[in-house]
Amino acid sequence: MRKPVIAGNWKLFKKSSEAVDLVMGLAPLVKATAGVEIIVAPVFTVLTTVKQALAGSNIMLAAQDCFWEEEGAFTGEISPGMLADAGCSHVIIGHSERRQYFGETDATVNRKIKAALTAELSVLFCIGETLAERESEKTFEILRTQVTDGLAGLTKEQLGNIIVAYEPVWAIGTGKTATDEQAQEAHTFIRRLVAELFDHPTADAIRILYGGSVKPENIKGLMAQTDIDGALVGGASLKADSFAALVNFGK
């Protein structure tokens, strides 16, 4: 049995007081929820503040990106060890917005994943095709490259600390969710690919989250799919009640 994960990617939102208000509102609403891993990913500057606000809760902390070097003359970067030091247990790597606007490639994603694992962070590894790629029937080819290159050189033991997030770019922030069937089809493909690249037990154990306009209205249908193990949520994670409704999808 794979434990579901519901992760909130706050993107470039929430200054410290807003961030604290959000987790203070959220924590009591999900306190009694067992059997779901709950993660929030604020901006770097509020990580330590949010960590303090999360004390005693069942909510874990993630960063939205990291660099691959641990320290050095790399102005403006943050290393995985520094994120762990700030209280993060997880880091998002390869989000499509980083690929689209900040030059992230499968090769840099791979370096970042390795560095994050070395710092004992778990990784939310994001992949997904654009609309043009889907329309030209390149979805599976793109996913194959992203998974193969992103996870290159990792051991199957290391895969235990990877959570994949399948996020079709055309569904992010657009209100256009993939249908349950489209999402399930992609997730099955990814799981089979992990079996091919690693082995069957690794593929059976890895959590694959769906992301892209996940809301309280569509979470149940997505979670009912056999290969969907949770959600990476942007917009609906910015309010305590909607994010709690997602965490409590099973209730």
- Verify binding: residue 59, ligand PGA, rule CB under 6 A: no
Q: Which pair of structure tokens corresponds to residue 151?
A: 């996870």
202 or 213: CB nearest ligand PGA: 213
Query: Is residue 235 at the binding interface for ligand PGA, with CB under 6 A as the rule?
Result: yes
Active site residue 95: yes
- Is residue 211 near ligand PGA by the rule CB under 6 A? yes
147 binds ligand PGA (CB under 6 A): no
CA distance 155 to 158: 5
- Segment holding 192, helix H or strand E: helix 180-197
Is 167 part of the annotated catalytic residue set? yes
65 binds ligand PGA (CB under 6 A): no
Nearest CB to ligand PGA, comparing residues 115 and 232: 232
By the rule CB under 6 A, 94 interacts with ligand PGA: no
Indicate which single residue of 139, 146, 213, 218 sits in contact with ligand PGA (rule: CB under 6 A).
213
| Element housing 166 (H / E) | strand 162-166
Smaller CB separation from ligand PGA, 81 or 129: 129
Altogether, the residues listed in the chain come to a count of: 251
C-beta nearest to ligand PGA: residue: 234
Looking at residue 109, the DSSP 8-state letter turns out to be H
Phi, psi of 211 (to 5 degrees): -140, 145
- DSSP assignment of 118-140 equals HTT-EEEEEE---HHHHHTT-HH
Kindly state the tokens that stand for 34: 């067992």
Of positions 160, 173, 201, 250, contacts ligand PGA by CB under 6 A: 173
Cα 133 from Cα 106, distance rounded (Å): 16
**Which residues of this chain interact with ligand PGA, rule CB under 6 A?**
9, 167, 172-173, 211-214, 232-236
Just list the catalytic residues.
Answer: 95, 167
